[in-house]
Structure 1
Amino acid sequence: MIVQHETFAGTGEDSHGNEVESWGEPADVEIMAFDPGSTSEPREAGHDRVIVEPTIYLYPGTIFGPRDRVTVNGRQYEVEGETRIWEHPEGAEHYGNVVTIRRVEG
């Protein structure tokens, strides 16, 4: 499966002094698997939102940084936290890497 990965480039300022975030050009990255993960609907006063937190399993050596963006099946997510090493539970074999991504609607 191929996803689009955009590296977080940092922040700058617009002509009015407001912070502006930016990302690099999207690049195709082949992944091992996409787990659609969980969804939640926080019940906070004045909010009607859905939070989706899938997991992506990456090939060894593939690293996504915090705040990077990933587009999977036409939906854009932000990387949540750091890329972690994915090892077999019964041994030390390094299968690949794993990263949690997040999308908030509403």
Structure 2
Amino acid sequence: MGSVRHRGGETVILHPLVEGAEDAHGNPVEEWGPGVEREKCAIEPRVQEVENELGRSAVVYGFTIYDTFDSPVTDRDEMTVRGIRCKVDGEIARWRNPFTGQAKGSVITLKRVDG
């Protein structure tokens, strides 16, 4: 399928959600599977202005990742970007060229994981 790659892009690590063992009540415990490298992704920091003693400054609270159309990322996964662990924030937006119908890429919105 679509394989838009960004020549100057970066490698991010996908941590897919998998079901692990059961807890004491018989419910499946969610765990993160082995990391999967996604190469040549474009990365856009998501910033938010915060006020502090010196005025305002921008804080990175997540990232927007541009990957291939057939990226295996789901809305329940996590990713590591530039050493920062993040969770997928919402649905993966996959897009096609409106003139040719060719699969072009996906847009993945991430939010930092605290804790």
- Structure 2: 5+ residue stretches without partners: 1-9, 51-58
Provide the rounded CA distance (Å) in 1 between the counterparts of 2:29 and 2:78.
Answer: 15
Letter in 1 for 2:108: V
Match among 86, 94, 101 for residue 95 of structure 2: 86
Give the corresponding residue for 2:81: 72
Match among 59, 66, 89 for residue 57 of structure 1: 66
TM-score relative to the length of structure 1: 0.69
User: Larger C-alpha radius of gyration, 1 or 2?
Assistant: 2
> How many pairs does the alignment contain?
98
Letter in 2 for 1:23: W
State yes or no: 1:98 paired with 2:107. yes
Give the corresponding residue for 1:4: 13
User: 2:85·2:113 contact (CA, 8 Å) conserved in 1?
Assistant: no
User: 2:12·2:41 contact (CA, 8 Å) conserved in 1?
Assistant: no
Give me the identity figure in percent: 34
Segment of structure 1 superposing worse, 12-21 or 61-70:
12-21
Q: CA RMSD in A?
A: 3.2
